[in-house]
Structure formats: C-alpha cells, structure tokens
Chain A
Amino acid sequence: MKTFTYAIIGNSVAAIGAIEAIRSVDRTGSIGLFSDEPHHVYSRPLITHYLAGEVSEEKMLYRPPDFYERYGVQAFLGAQVESVEFENRRLQTAGGESAFEKLLISVGGRPIVPKIAGGDLRGVFTMNTWDDAREMKSYLPAVRSAMVLGGGLTGLKTAEALVEAGVRVTVVELAERVLSMLLDRRSAEVVVKQFENQGTRILTGTTISEIRGGECVESASLSDGSTAECQMVVLAIGVTPRLDLVQDTPVRTNRGIFVDRRMETSVPGVFAAGDVAEAYDALLDQNRVLPVLPNAYAGGRVAGLNMAGGERTYDLGASVNSTTFFGYPVVSAGSSAIEEGAEIIEGDDENGYRRFIIQDDRLTGFVMTGEVNRAGIVLDLVRERIPLNGLKDRLLDGIGLIDLPEEIRHKKLRGGTCCHEKH
C-alpha cells in the first residue's frame, strides 16, 4: 500500500494551489491526487466558453499537460475516493487503498437539482463539469431554443454561451433580479440589457414548474402559467458542497467543511479548500461557503503551505467576481448586496455604471461595469480597510495609486508581494 506524504482529493483549482504551494517548500514529499473526473486539470469557469466554441480542447487545460510530472504528483484520474478513514489516515478507491500523512479535501460542489416534473427527460442538463458541457455541446444540433433556470453566474454564462452557439435562450430566475448575490438592482439591469440586446429574454420572479416532452424536452411551463417551446432546459440554480466523504466522520461540517484560518478541518492534518470549504471571510468576520475561483486558489495555497509545515493564515475571504457578458465587463466585490446603514456612491455614464458601498469611512464593496481598468486598486481599499478620508470624491473618477495616502502609496510602490495572506 502506497503512503503519500500529501493526499489530495479533487482535481480543482484549490488542489493546484496546494500542489504549487507544497512544491515551493517541499520538493521531495510524495503527492497523490485522486479525482473522480478523468480529465487533466481544467478550468471549470471555461466550460461555458467551451460550450460556446470559443475555447478549444487544449486551452481548457488549467495547467500544461506535463504538470503532474513536473510537480511530482501521482495523479489518479477517474478514481473516485469512496471513503476516508480519518483516524487511520487511509483512503479507499475502487482501485485499492492508500495511506497519507496529510490530506486536502477539495472536491468542490455539486449542482442543486430541483425536483421538477419532466426533469428526467433528455435535454435537461446541469452545467458543472467539462463532461456536462460536452454532452450539452453534442446535444446542440437538436436545439433551437433553450430555457435556463437560474439567473446566477452559471446560468447567465451558460445562457450567453448558448446564445453564441446560435440558440434562442430564455432565462428564468425566481428572485426579483439576476445575480442577486453579486449585483444591486441597477447593475443587474445593466446585465439584463446586455442579454436583451442579444434578443434573450430574462424572466424574473418565476420558475419552471414543468418540463414537457416525449423522450426529449419539447417545452417548459412556468409558474406563471405560460408555456414556451424549447429543446433544452439547463438547471443552474446553484451548487452545494460535496460533503459525502465527511458525512458521519469526525470532520466538522456546517454548510461546508468547517476550516480554521489555516484551512485545517477539525481533524488535525486534514485540510479543506475551495467550494467545499466553509472558510473565513475577513470582511464579514465569519466563516462561509464562497465559491469563487481566486479564493479557491488562495485557500488551496494556504492549505498546501500549512500541510508542508508552514504557518499561514487565510485572510482573503471577501467575495470577488469579474466576468463579461457579450464582452461587456462586470466586476463586483465585497458586500455589494448588503446595503444596511451604508453610504452609497453611484455613477452612471458612458464609461459604465459604478457603485461604491461605504461603511464607517471604509469601502465595503463595489460594482463596476464597462470600464474596469484598475479595479484592483479599489478592491485593495476594501481588503486593506483603508480609511477613505478625502478619497470618496475620487472614487467615481477612478482611483490611482497616486490618490492613496502617502504611507500606503510608498509601501505599494516599493513593495513586491501583493497576496494578502499573512506571513
């Protein structure tokens, strides 16, 4: 039986962050990587771009084909871990048993599939894996119009991909606006406008009540009683952490696997990162599940460094999102949706819409659309909790390093490390 110094379950961005971190300090310790998916590590956010035909097979890869070899990783792809014995430091796959000294769980989340009549018809998809996208892509020739359930990021990016693939799309969102976790009402309208420009309908405050068809999807009925013809329904109402492996084990869970600031679970030597983890959000000062890619990498990296004997804490937390819809940039960060007792600064001009949320003279969140250059400087104000002082008036014009207080500016101009992990 092989014993790995480091075992990693899940072939995700968090896993790569951990591997690259481990190898930056430990060149010899053995690493075993177990993934139920058969693919070389790929970029999950690219699956919609793949669907749209924008990204080729080889460009799906998140790291080069020789990555595992170069990083000394023994990768077990398509090998689902069936169980883990946390006390004995063992894990079982169909192929056998392996032992480990340190373990990282980064299995991500799985789509929430609502119970809808007709949900088992051909043409009903979820959008979470490369295989999902492949299946969808091969089904496209039969599709003229599609209905996407869920106006979140996955739903909208899928809708965009389908539009670009030539499909007529209707998006159905139960909430009163799309991207309600990320955007306020007005910025959501900006996004909706982008879709409407493409002839895409976005219906809010409603949901799919029934999917109809013989073998395949032929139409869908909405809760408002209307029915529309479609050949495809995509269910994208969210993901939930994959907790199967830790169910009924000493590993503490809440909504996700609960980790401390070192990304370590309640079981010493066992770490978790990525969409499966419930990690610390410095901005809210509490743990939460926050499925965004930069945080997954950073969390994996902190976990990896700590697995390799380092002492790092994870302080990133805050929600960050940047994307485009039909080429139109939309970024948001921090508590953009939380508006209680906050001061709001808004602007809307030819450069786009922007909204800044200020509490106690500190920026707690913002949304920018259109012109997003140098948004990172603004995000840093949020993350570093820099007092705004006179800076408020400059926010709408676009903040430069030159606008920052002298001390911070000097530190930035001379400094060289931008990661917010504490050393």
Chain B
Amino acid sequence: MACRLCEVGCKVEHSEHKHVIKSFKREKPVARLLVEESGPLSFATQCRHCDEPACMFGCITGAITKDPETGIVNLNAEKCIGCWTCILMCPYGSITRTNGARPTAAKCDMCPGREVPACVEACPNRALVLMEDEEPAVALEDAA
C-alpha cells in the first residue's frame, strides 16, 4: 500500500545504530529494497536470491557469493570495489549503492540473525511474506 515502512525497517536494520531515529538522523542509511509505485499499483522489490544469480556471475571481485546451504546471495562489502557490474547484471534492479566515502553495492541479505527479515516485520499489510524453498525467498504481491 506504498507506505514504505519496509524501507524504513530495512534502513534501520542495516544501519550502524539500529535505532530508527538515531539511524535516520545520523546515518542516512540506504534501503536494500525499493517500493515501486504507479497510481494505485505498488510493490516492493528486492533481491530474489536467484538460483543462478547474474550478479554473482558478473561480480569482478568475487564479493558476491551464494550460500549453498541457505541459498542466500551474499555481498561482501569489504571486497566490493564499486564497479557496479552487479547493478547492470541484476534484471530486478535490486542492488543499490551505499552512501559515504567508499560507496559499495548493497543488497538484501535476508537480515542475518533475525527470524523474519526487517522489511517483512515492518509491513503492516502483510504484503511482504517470507516464503521457503522453491519459491523465491521473499515473494511480493501487488498488494504491497
């Protein structure tokens, strides 16, 4: 419903302070998902954690890997040099750039350490649902 609380949740989760006010006021964090809107239609998009992740194929540094256990496609910001090949490779437009002195690529990491990703938890309308297995890790509905 385009409230964009998922983005708020994501930003806070991926901030240094992990405090909604402090993070926003001090850090200007970047959301790893994006709500797209066009008239009444809206939905959130983020990394699908593809079986065959084009971003990983394209990553020139080896910063992007796919965890064979969890299926999560991870991005190691330490290794990333910011060539943005992954951004060009991702057909979902789900990788973004961080702010700051040394910008790196940033993407959904399924919120390690959380039972439910922050975006899913933040969604007041259950438009974001965590789904397992064959389905994409986070599925989205037009209701978002």
Contact = CB atoms under 8 A, between A and B. Distances in A.
Interface string B63-105: 0000000000000001101111101111111111100000100
B53 A419 contact: yes
Interface in B27-47: 34, 36-38, 41-43, 45
Interface string B115-139: 0000000000000000000011101
Given A45-B83, A401-B36, A414-B136, A377 B91 contact: yes
A417 B50 contact: yes
Interface in B11-35: 34
A316 to B, nearest CB: 9
Contacts of B42: 402
A188 interface: no
A2 interface: no
Contacts of A375: 84, 87-88, 93
Task: Give the interface SS of chain B, mostly helix, strand, loop or mixed.
Answer: loop
Contact of B139 (A49, A297, A414, A421): A414
B83 A294 contact: no
A298 interface: yes
B4 to A, nearest CB: 14
B37 A402 contact: yes
A342 B49 CA distance: 36
Contacts of B140: 413
Interface residues of A, number: 49
A45 B93 CA distance: 23
Q: What is the size category of the interface that chain B forms with chain A?
A: 35 or more
B42 to A, nearest CB: 8
B52 A421 contact: yes
B5 interface: no
Nearest to B85: A322
B36 to A, nearest CB: 4
B1 interface: no
Contacts of B82: 324, 327
A328 to B, nearest CB: 11
In the A-B complex, the 9 residue pairs with the closest CB atoms: A419-B52, A374-B93, A294-B58, A380-B91, A376-B90, A416-B136, A402-B36, A322-B85, A62-B62
5 contacts: A322-B83, A376-B94, A416-B48, A417-B51, A418-B53
Interface of B: 34, 36-38, 41-43, 45, 48-54, 57-58, 60-62, 78-79, 81-85, 87-97, 103, 135-137, 139-142
